[in-house]
Amino acid sequence: MNSYLLKNAHLYINHQFENVDILIEDGMITKIEKNIESDVPTYDLKGKMVAHNFIDMHTHLREPGFEHKETIYSGTMSALYGGYGTVVAMANTLPCMDDLETIADFKKRVIKDGQVNTYTYSAITKDLKGKELVDMAHIVEEDIVLGFSDDGKGVQSDEMMDLAMQLASNIDSIIVAHCEDESELHGGCIHEGHYAKEHDLIGINSASEYKQVARDLEIVKHYQNRYHVCHISTKETVELLRQAKKDGLPVSGEASPHHLILTEENIKDCHPNYKMNPPLRSIEDHQALIDGLNDQTIKVIATDHAPHAREEKNKPIQDAPFGIIGIQHAFPLLYTYLVKKNLVKLETILDALTTGPAHVLRLEGDVKLGQKANLCIFDLDKEFVIEEDDIKSKSINTPFLGVKCYGKIVANIVNGKMTEMEEM
C-alpha cells in the first residue's frame, strides 16, 4: 500500500539539488540514495524535478457561504494540480471563521472534501468588522487553526490591533495581516499610476498599504509577537520589512505570483482580470519585490487564490470584485517568468514555496527520511498553454489564460498518496 520507487529524481533537498532515487514504503520516505533496488512499483523520472510539495499560506476556498465561486473540493483540487500539499484558508467566509462552531463545521467539510492538507485562519475580529476580538485563547487550541487574519480588510483601529497583537503574543500565535488603511482609499480599482490617469480611473495609492505596515511593526516592537504581512506590493513595505528583520523582530512577509510577474504596464484593455487587491504596482515596486525575494527579506510566496464567478468578474473594471485565481499554475508561471529570465534562482522560488511558509507556520517543509512522502514532481522542460478546460477551480478569473509556460506538473504525492497528472 502506497509503496513505490522513484528512480533518477532531480531532488531538491537541504536547499540544493541531488540526483538520487527515492524509496517510499507505506507512504513513508525510507531511502534517499543512488541506485536503490526494490521490488515495489518503479517510476523512472529521467531527471525530472522533485521537491517537497508546496505550502500556500494564503488561499480563499470560499466555503462555507460562497460555493458558487469555489468549494473546498474544487479549491484543494486546484492546489493538488498545482503541486501544493498544504493550504491555509482565509476566514472571510459566510459565516465568518470567527467562532468554534464555524471552525468545527469547516473541519468536517475538510475531512470530507479536502484533497490536500487544509488548515484555516480564524478572523482577528468578529465578522471582520474590526470592532470586537474573537475568542483567541480558545480558538487557537483547535489544531486546524494556524493563526489569525482579517484578510480582505485591514484592522483600522490602532487600539484593536494593539490588543490583538498583545493576545497573540500571550498565546504564541501569529497575526497574518492584510494591511490597508481605508482612510487612503477613495474607491480606486488599480494602482495610482499612469495607467489609471490615462484611462480616467481612480487609483489606489501605495500609502494605503505601507502606512498600516509601519503602524503594525511599531506594535511588534512592543510585544515581540509573531507577525506576517500579506501580499506585499510596494517598495516602501519591502524596506519596512527589511529594516524590521534587521532589528531582529519576529516578522515575515509574502509576495504573490502576480505581483512578482506583472506590473501596471501589463494591464490590457482595462480588463477586470487585472484587478486585484493590492493592485499591480509600478515597475519600481516590482523591482523592489524581486530584490526582496532575492535578499531573503521576503521568504514566502503565497498565491492569494481568489476565485469569483464569471458573472461577478465580467463587469467593467471599476465594478468588478478584486482578485484572481492562481494556485494551480503558480509554479509554472514563476518558473517561466522569473527563473527562465534569470531574475530569481529556482532554489529561491522553491524555498519560498516550501521552507519559507513552513517556518512561518511551524509546519514541515523539508524532504526528510522517516517522514510521510509529501513530494511534487515537475517536468521543467515541458511546455504547455494555460487553457480554461484544464482549470480545476470553479472560476476562471485569471489574466494568464492562453499564456505559454514551462514546468508542467507530472505528479503530486500528498501524505504518501500519489496522484499522476502525466504518464511517468
Positions annotated as catalytic residues are 304
In which band, very low, low, confident or very high, does the pLDDT at 423 lie, cut at 50, 70 and 90? confident
Q: Do domains 4-50+371-420 and 53-361 have the same CATH topology?
A: no
Beta strands in 277-416 (DSSP E): 300-301, 375-385, 404-414
Q: Taking the domains of the chain in order of start, what are their residue ranges? A: 4-50+371-420, 53-361
Residue 23: closest CA among 416, 420, 364, 421: 416
Stated as kind and residue range, the H or E segment containing 232 is none
What would the mean pLDDT of 283-297 be, rounded to a whole number? Answer: 98
pLDDT digits (tens, 9 = 90+) for 349-390: 999 999 999 999 999 999 999 999 999 999 999 999 999 999
pLDDT at 226: 98
Question: Does residue 416 have a pLDDT over 90?
Answer: yes
pLDDT at 232: 98
In which band, very low, low, confident or very high, does the pLDDT at 1 lie, cut at 50, 70 and 90? low
Q: What is the CATH number of domain 53-361?
A: 3.20.20.140
Q: Which residues carry a binding-site annotation for substrate? A: 60-62, 92, 277, 308, 322-323
- Strands of 145-148's sheet, edge to edge? 54-59, 84-89, 117-122, 145-148, 174-177, 226-229, 251-255, 300-301
Question: Does residue 122 have a pLDDT over 80?
Answer: yes
Q: Which residues carry a binding-site annotation? A: 58, 60-62, 92, 151, 178, 231, 277, 304, 308, 322-323
- Beta carbons within 8 Å of 71's beta carbon, 6+ residues apart: 61, 62, 63, 113, 394
pLDDT digits (tens, 9 = 90+) for 9-68: 999 999 999 999 999 999 999 999 999 999 999 999 999 999 999 999 999 999 999 999
What would the mean pLDDT of 253-271 be, rounded to a whole number? Answer: 98
pLDDT digits (tens, 9 = 90+) for 140-181: 999 999 999 999 999 999 999 999 999 999 999 999 999 999
CATH fold of 4-50+371-420 reads Urease, subunit C; domain 1 (2.30.40)
pLDDT digits (tens, 9 = 90+) for 315-347: 999 999 999 999 999 999 999 999 999 999 999
Q: Which residues carry a binding-site annotation for Zn(2+)? A: 58, 60, 151, 178, 231, 304
pLDDT at 105: 98
How many residues in the chain? 424
Phi and psi at residue 322, to the nearest 5°: -75, 145
pLDDT at 399: 98
pLDDT digits (tens, 9 = 90+) for 30-47: 999 999 999 999 999 999
pLDDT at 201: 97
**What sign does the CA torsion over 247, 354, 57, 26 have?**
negative
pLDDT at 400: 98
Phi and psi at residue 359, to the nearest 5°: -65, -45
What would the mean pLDDT of 217-243 be, rounded to a whole number? Answer: 98
- Beta carbons within 8 Å of 238's beta carbon, 6+ residues apart: 232, 253, 288, 289, 291, 292, 297, 298
